[in-house]
Amino acid sequence: MEHYLEFTGIGKSFPGVTALKDISFRAEGGRVLALLGENGAGKSTLLKILSADYFADEGEVILNGQTLHFSSPHDSIKAGISVVYQERQMIPEMSVMENIYAGTLPTNKLGFIDKARLKKDARDLIDKFGLPIDPTKPVGRLSVAYQQMVEIMKAYRRGASVIAFDEPTASLAEAEISILFKLIEELKREGKIILYVSHRLSEIFQICDDIVVFKDGQLVKTLVTSESNETELIRAMVGRDIGDTYANLSRNTQYGDKLLDVKNLVTKQVKDVSFTLREGEIIGFAGLIGAGRTEVVRAIFGADKIISGEISLQGQLVEFKAPHEAVSAGLALCPEDRKEQGLVLYRTIRDNVSIPVLSKIRRLIFLDRKAESALSHDAVGKYQIKTPSIDKIVVELSGGNQQKVILGRWTSDKMDTKILILDEPTKGIDVGTKAEIYQTVCDFAKQGIGVIFISSELTEVIGVSDRVYVMRGGKITGCVEREDATEEGILSLAMSDTVTTEGGESA
């Protein structure tokens, strides 16, 4: 019997964003199909439609001739579909074996969980994978890599006919990647339909038979892996030039003294990173998912522990033990995860904007409400935050407007900011406002503020930054001046295992 999965005319939109448009392709059993594209190209959205986390606005998903109709993720699992996401979906307090067999825990004659059988079955599966994991240990106590392997074992245990992997190796070491690839080869021999999302081109050519390339929510190319090469894939993924938005920016051209000097920084996720930032300069950090960009700035900001290395601020060695120490020294961070790390969701816009400067807007022991209101109104006006009032609860705002609240907080006239760190600052923000934010960033640079700009959008990081550092696997693989930066070049460095110096020489 022919075994296949087919997507026909799939479309999906979110407010103000077309995530997928007319996606049609077919995946065959016994072959691995790679879904390739830049961050935000639509790959993960398609997998969420397959798993019924999202529902398509248009089109059909067909499995072996039958159109699939799901009302919940449970329906997708029952149909034999299993998606292993990079964001792990497990209960940290439960044991490894309970997570692997969640939903199908074995029971005895009395209806109680048969723990002896559960432990044996989990042990057999763990041994099959060759992993040193205790099946009774809570998943939350495992390393990120082993948590990912538990997710993969859970998918394998379900015996699904369709298995999709979304960046499965992002947190795995080489030994674990080898185990995963052996498993995928076994799944191929069993005739499974396998979808594989990865930014690592070496992996694509190692284990994938076919490739579909996504760009801005559309399928732009279908390829047989053996008939393609890295240059062709990168060109298909990029496919556009930087627009006039960036050419029209009014930039700072005069840099001051060295403001930040990071030497040989090492944390759990960062490996020997060194870079510099001058007054009035905008440096960009580019890289794919899991490259370590966010971890670098978290360490500088005092949010993650530094194992070794040196950080100098205006020529003085510093080591911030906590973020409030960094803020006091003139550092400001707009974090990637705004909901978890950037905002007090159940407080007002007024409260969120004024948090870092409360000590500056007091009259004796009382808060100067007039000054606080002025700060908040200024932020709402500057970033065009859509709200009926500065007393609107932040959790009730859209994601884009929540991001604007964070920008308003760190860029008020009460902040003595020396270094502004922006981690995915335009995520969820409309195109018109993006251009305004780009110019605002350039205006800060003109004031002598040093800016660290992290973005997954290559056009954005190239267009805004004066220099771009490229990372992969916790290391800097290259540094490119804006006039020399291209999307193809940045992508090549982001997928390269070669580490280069700022001068471009191989290290």
Place of tokens 């109709």: 69
Residue extents of the structural domains in the chain: 4-238, 240-330+416-425+443-507, 338-415
| Distance separating alpha carbons of residues 128 and 167, to the nearest angstrom | 22
CATH number of 240-330+416-425+443-507: 3.40.50.300
| pLDDT tens, position by position, 89-113 | 778 889 999 999 887 888 888 888 8
| Fold agreement (4-238, 240-330+416-425+443-507) | yes
| Distance separating alpha carbons of residues 495 and 296, to the nearest angstrom | 18
Strand locations in 186-257 (E): 193-197, 210-215, 218-224
| Distance separating alpha carbons of residues 13 and 21, to the nearest angstrom | 8
| pLDDT tens, position by position, 435-455 | 778 888 998 899 999 999 998
Kindly report the pTM of this predicted structure: 0.58
Q: How far apart are the first and last CA of the chain?
A: 53
**Residue 307 CA neighbour count, 13 Å, CB half:** 11
| pLDDT tens, position by position, 112-140 | 888 899 999 999 989 988 888 999 999 88
Q: What is the mean pLDDT of residues 353-361?
A: 80
Q: How confident is the model at residue 499 (pLDDT cuts 50, 70, 90)?
A: low
Q: How confident is the model at residue 239 (pLDDT cuts 50, 70, 90)?
A: low
CATH topology classification for 4-238: Rossmann fold (3.40.50)
Note whether 305 and 465 are within 8 A (CB): no
> In this model, does residue 241 exceed pLDDT 60?
no
Of 218, 227, 129, 144, the C-alpha closest to 178 is 129
Q: How confident is the model at residue 210 (pLDDT cuts 50, 70, 90)?
A: very high
Q: Looking at residue 505, what is its pLDDT?
A: 42
The residue ranking higher by pLDDT, 9 or 430, is: 9
In which element (H, E) is residue 153 found? Answer: helix 144-157
309: left (phi over 0), alpha (psi -120 to 50) or beta: left
| pLDDT tens, position by position, 457-480 | 788 899 999 999 999 989 999 999
Q: Looking at residue 507, what is its pLDDT?
A: 42
| pLDDT tens, position by position, 32-54 | 999 988 766 888 889 999 999 99
Query: Please, which residues have CB within 8 angstroms of residue 141's CB and are 6 or more apart in sequence?
Result: none
> In this model, does residue 255 exceed pLDDT 90?
yes
Q: How confident is the model at residue 202 (pLDDT cuts 50, 70, 90)?
A: confident
Place of tokens 């705002």: 397
Residue type, 184: I
Q: Looking at residue 161, what is its pLDDT?
A: 92
Q: What is the mean pLDDT of residues 178-191?
A: 87
